[in-house]
Amino acid sequence: MKNIKCNLLSILLLMIAISCKKEKQAALILPEANQWILDSMKVYYYWNEQLPKQPEPNNSASLFFQGLRYSADRFSYMEDPAANTTEYSSFAYYGFEYALVQMPAFPGRIFGTVTLVVPNGPAAKKGLKRGDLFSAVNGIEINSSSSNAIKQLLKQGANISLQTLKVVNDQLISGPLFSISYSYFREQPVYLTKIFSNGNKKTGYIFYNNFNDEFDRNILDSIAKFKNKGIKDLILDLRYNPGGAVSSAAKVAAAVVSVNEGEIFLVSQANKNGGRFTDSFGQTIAKGSSLPRTFAEVINSRISIEKLFVLTSSATASSAELLINNLKPYLNVVQIGEKTIGKDMSSFEIYDQRVPKKIMYVLHPLIFKLYNSKLQGDYSAGLVPDYFADEFSTLPLKEFGDKEEILLKKALEVSLGTSPIISSKVASNKVAPILSANTKAVFQSSFARSTTMSPISFGRGKTGLDFKSNKK
Whether residue 63 contacts residue 55, with contact meaning beta carbons closer than 8 Å, is answered with no
Give the pLDDT of residue 94: 98
Residues facing residue 178 across a β-bridge: 162
**Of 164-178, 259-273, 386-400, 455-469, minimum mean pLDDT range:** 455-469
Distance CA 69, CA 110 (A): 35
Distance CA 276, CA 463 (A): 11
Distance CA 176, CA 189 (A): 28
Entry pTM: 0.90
Whether residue 381 contacts residue 340, with contact meaning beta carbons closer than 8 Å, is answered with no
Whether residue 453 contacts residue 209, with contact meaning beta carbons closer than 8 Å, is answered with no
Helix (H, G, I), strand (E, B) or coil at 5: helix
Q: What is the pLDDT of residues 412-450, one digit of tens each?
A: 999 999 666 555 543 334 444 554 557 899 999 999 999
CATH no., domain 190-343+368-428: 3.90.226.10
Residues facing residue 233 across a β-bridge: 203, 307
Give domain limits for the chain.
Answer: 190-343+368-428
Q: Is the predicted pLDDT of residue 327 greater than 80, yes or no?
A: yes
- Exposure b/e, 377-399, CB count within 10 A at least 16 = b: bebbebbebeeebebbebbbbbb
Closest CA to 316 of 289, 343, 290, 292: 343
Residues facing residue 196 across a β-bridge: 203, 422
Q: What's the rounded mean pLDDT across residues 196-200?
A: 93
Distance CA 472, CA 464 (A): 17
How far does Cα 464 stand from its chain's mean position? 24
Give the pLDDT of residue 438: 76
**Of 218-227, 371-380, 423-432, minimum mean pLDDT range:** 423-432
**Of 102-106, 373-377, 404-408, 460-464, minimum mean pLDDT range:** 460-464
Q: Which amino acid is it at 92?
A: A
- 10 Å Cβ neighbour count for 113? 23
